[in-house]
Copies of this chain bind each other. A is one copy, B any other.
Amino acid sequence: MISDRAAIADLYGEYGGLLDTGDYEGWLGLFAAECRYTVMPWENYRQGLPSGLIFCDSRAVLEDRIMALREANKYNIHWDRHVIGLPRMIGDAGAEISIEAPFAVYQSDQEGISRLFATGLYCDRIISEAGGLKFRDKTVLLDTFAVPSLLATPL
């Protein structure tokens, strides 16, 4: 059943864990074959402005993007830590569910100093594919958009 709570919690646990260990291949595996990934300031979303900081409307574009971030991060060494709050069921259309989950991302530098990097809300549409839950559409609504190095970190 797609709306199985444990499977949903696992999906979000995997999402944060794979990003934080830098396992981008594994992370890509959480998205459906046809997927969309958007990062935008919450304020743009509220006002209906379409412009996002990142917009990937296919898996190929998402793969390209994550490889570029990976490259950029060779020169900006830090460690991320995602703390994702309890997922909230927004809608259940049978074959697809809508989930929202709040998050905070912390970044630590090579000196071992940790800072809050960004907070926001995941607004996701999830389907079942290839035997597991996958993100069909993931929208990362950012509370924090005044961050210089923002684009170098997957959220």
Copies of chain A in the complex: 3
The residue from B85, B145, B146 contacting A84, defined by CB atoms under 8 A apart? B85
Chain B CB within 8 A of A112 CB: yes
In the complex, chain B residues whose CB is within 8 Å of the CB of A121: 20, 81
Min C-beta distance of A13 to chain B, whole Å:
4
- Let me know if B17 and A9 touch, CB within 8 A: no
Task: Knowing A88-B17, A102-B82, A104-B104, say if A143 contacts B120 (CB, 8 Å).
Answer: no
Q: Count of chain A residues with Cβ under 8 Å from any Cβ of B?
A: 47
CA distance A12 to B79 in the complex (A): 23
Q: How far is the CA of A146 from the CA of B112 in the complex (A)?
A: 5
Besides A13-B89, A83-B119, A112-B146, 12 new A-B residue pairs in contact (Cβ under 8 A), listed by A number: A9-B86, A16-B102, A20-B102, A81-B119, A81-B120, A81-B143, A82-B102, A83-B84, A86-B86, A106-B119, A108-B144, A112-B147
